[in-house]
Amino acid sequence: MNPRRALLYTPGDSRPKIEKALTLDVDCICMDMEDGTAHNRKEKARKTISVALKEFDFGRTEKLIRINGAGTGLAEDDLAATLLHHPDGVVLPKVENLAQLEWLSDEIAKVEQAEGWELNSIRMLAVVESAKGIINLQEIATHPRLDALIFGAEDYAASIGATRTKNGMEILFARSQVVLHAKANDLQAIDVVFVNFKDAVNLKIDALLGAQLGFTGKQII
C-alpha cells in the first residue's frame, strides 16, 4: 500500500493534461472518466487512458483510474477499456454500501484471473461523498481489496443540504468519520479537494487542518 500524500486528478479525455501531470512528481495520478469528463467525451477518455496506461512512463508515480459509479451504466465500459492495461488501482466514486465494492472487486478479479495476474494486484479506493456513504462507513471500510477512503466534500454537502464555507464546519463531522473508519481498518485517509486552488493562504490552512484531523493524503486538481 504505497503512501498517497498527493492524489492528482486529471481529465481522462485530455492526453496533454495527462502528460503534464507526469511532470509534477506527485504520488499518484488518477485519470478521470467520471466528473472530470463530459458525458459526450466518455469514450474518448477510455481510449486516451488506455493509451496512457500502455505507453506512458509513470516512473514512481502510481497510476489510478476513476470510473463512473456503480449502477450508472457507464462503469462496465470504463473497466472493459482500461483494466487490461493493469492500472495500479481503481477509484470508485459515490460509494454508499459494501455491495458496490464487492461488485467492483469481482469485476477486477475476473480480469486478474483471465490474465494470470496475482489476485488483488489491482487495488481499490472508495470515494465516500453522501450522507448514506458516511452512515455505512463501518461496513464499507472492511473490504479486503480496499486501500483508501477518500472524502468528497462537495457532493456530501449537497446530499445533506449544507452550504460550503471557508471554515468547513458543515463537513467536520463527516470528515472526521472518514479518518476514524480508515484508521480503524488500516486504510489511508485522503482528504477533500480545496476547489479554490488559487487561494494559496486558505489552501494551506485547509491542508494543515486535514493533517491535524489525521488525514495522510489530499486530493488535488
Q: Residue 23 is placed in which grid cell?
A: 511532470
Alpha carbon of residue 129 to chain centroid = 11
Q: For residues 80 and 47, is the Cβ–Cβ distance under 8 A?
A: no
What pTM does this model have? 0.95
For the chain, 221 residues long, give each residue's pLDDT as a single digit of tens. Answer: 677 889 999 999 999 999 999 999 899 999 999 999 999 999 999 999 999 999 999 999 999 999 999 999 999 999 999 999 999 999 999 999 999 999 999 999 999 999 999 999 999 999 999 999 999 999 999 999 999 999 999 999 999 999 999 889 999 999 999 999 999 999 999 999 988 878 889 889 999 999 999 999 999 98
Residue pointed to by grid coordinates 469514450: 43
